[in-house]
Chains A and B, each alone.
Chain A
Amino acid sequence: MDQERTGRPRARRRGQGELEVQVLSALRQAPGPVDTAWVRERLGGDLAYTTVITILTRLLAKDAVVREKAGRSFVWSPTADEAGLAALRMRRVLDGESDRQAVLASFVTSLPPGDERMLRELLERAEEPGE
């Protein structure tokens, strides 16, 4: 989301979402809190150290991981699973886009106070036997 504005190439942007998932699943397989080097090795070691740090920091900003100081560096542990991460990211989309109605058709829209009373009356009618 943040890189969208800095205008990096599209392929890389798409990769970041998948990398977040990979880093999170690596952390979930870890025996306990692990450091960045462990995560990097787990992912095959072909990613730059700074890239792994960047992704971990992004996950931290989304509350999907926590970190604590261990000596001179940080150790990381997951707080969410893959579905949880997707939920956190989806929430950002839903909260951030006020103009989303044309794309995402919602099952129900929220109710103004007057509608709620009317709806409860209608639901009482629906509960009556007759079908």
Chain B
Amino acid sequence: MGVFVFLPLVLPLTVWPIARLAEQHLHPRTATVLLSAAAGVLAVCSTVCLVLLMVVGTAQLPGNPLPDGWSDEEVREAVPYDEVAGRAAIPALLAVVAACGRTLWVHHRVRRRAVRALTGARGRSVAVLPDGEPYAYALPAGRGRRGRVVVSTTMLSCLGGGERRVLFAHERAHLAGRHHRFLLAVHLAARANPFLRPLRTAVSYTTERWADEEAAEAVGSRRAVARAVGRAALVSRGTGPAAALARFAAAGPVPRRVAALLEPAPVVRSWPPVFTTAGLAAWTAAAGTTVSALSSANSAVTLFLVLKAATPL
């Protein structure tokens, strides 16, 4: 097995260039699904790898509840640098579990609090709130509750009639496509392995692009969507936590969204041909994910067999 046992931990690095290529060259729907799936698989593989290392690490500790056979020479041979790696895996795995648990908890708390905040607000699918801040959000559907678009009066008053239609079409696309599930998946993946953070950023962008494209189809004009997104961004500038995070080199997501809308519509293909940039990105991502899955499956099976052999029955 050798150093291959560590492969799933670092293979997420292969998706860094791919994330950027996919968000630029693939249809946003394809990119969202592909990148979220890749993030999910890579995160699971890297966690499986951590669990295996932790088993070996824990088995060495005196007074552990695991069978003594699990710290035998042959098991330890299966993992290189078993002393360091095994011990390091324990806090790493605990950190992963804690971070993922926190993310899930925050996710449910925000949803619960937002739903509770909206008690008494009229409108089944749209809640218009009198607020001096311009904002618009899509609140996902929950138990027995429809998804709702939450928008402030200030945001509506800054937009013309056509632009409001764009805004509602965009938010409804988020709700209909259940984009929050993709977002939650990549947020969890980024917690499981920090190397997957660029995928989280990429999917946050591609879900917005996806909703923009759906809105463009609904209102029948890409330029109208570009104008609405631009106008809304200009009125909400300087508010919110992201304002503090100035980007230096790369353009932020909003100008890129507007620029993409001013370009011709992206082509929907189920799978792009290999010899294009997009195809190369998709195929490399798929290959990286497969290798990661195979190597962690290989590690898991091998270690399982070794442990089984070492456990006296």
Contact = CB atoms under 8 A, between A and B. Distances in A.
Closest 3 A/B residue pairs (Cβ): A21-B120, A89-B117, A87-B129
Q: Is the interface of A mostly helix, strand, loop or mixed?
A: helix
Contacts of A86: 117-121, 127, 129
Given A122-B226, A126-B223, A101 B204 contact: yes
Contacts of B140: 103
Interface in A74-127: 82-87, 89-94, 96-116, 118-120, 122-123, 125-127
Interface stretch (B23-31, B85-93, B246-254): B246-254
B230 A91 contact: no
Nearest to B190: A102
Contacts of A94: 135
B152 interface: yes
Most chain B CB atoms below 10 A, which of A100, A103, A110, A123:
A103
Interface in B117-168: 117-122, 127-131, 133, 135-140, 150, 152, 155, 167
B251 A106 contact: no
Given A86-B117, A87-B152, A119-B254, A108 B184 contact: no
Contact of B122 (A14, A83, A93, A104): A83
Given A83-B129, A118-B251, A108 B233 contact: yes
Interface stretch (B59-67, B69-77, B104-112, B285-293): B104-112
B245 interface: yes
A18 interface: yes
B238 interface: yes
Interface residues of B, number: 74
A123 B258 contact: yes
Given A102-B184, A103-B180, A110 B262 contact: no
29 contacts: A17-B120, A82-B120, A82-B121, A84-B129, A84-B130, A89-B116, A89-B117, A90-B150, A94-B135, A96-B113, A102-B103, A102-B106, A102-B184, A103-B110, A103-B184, A105-B137, A105-B183, A105-B207, A108-B233, A109-B242, A109-B254, A110-B237, A110-B243, A114-B247, A115-B254, A115-B255, A119-B233, A123-B258, A126-B262
B6 to A, nearest CB: 29
A17 B204 CA distance: 31
B214 interface: no
Contacts of A46: none
Contacts of B171: 105, 107
A102 B247 contact: no
Contacts of A90: 114, 117-118, 129, 131, 150
B229 A108 contact: yes
Interface in B212-258: 221-223, 226-227, 229-234, 236-243, 245-248, 251-255, 258
Nearest to B117: A89
A80 to B, nearest CB: 8
Interface string B202-214: 0010011001000
A127 B227 contact: yes
Given A18-B120, A89-B118, 13 more contacts: A86-B129, A93-B110, A100-B106, A101-B183, A101-B187, A103-B139, A106-B137, A107-B167, A111-B252, A112-B245, A114-B251, A115-B255, A118-B251
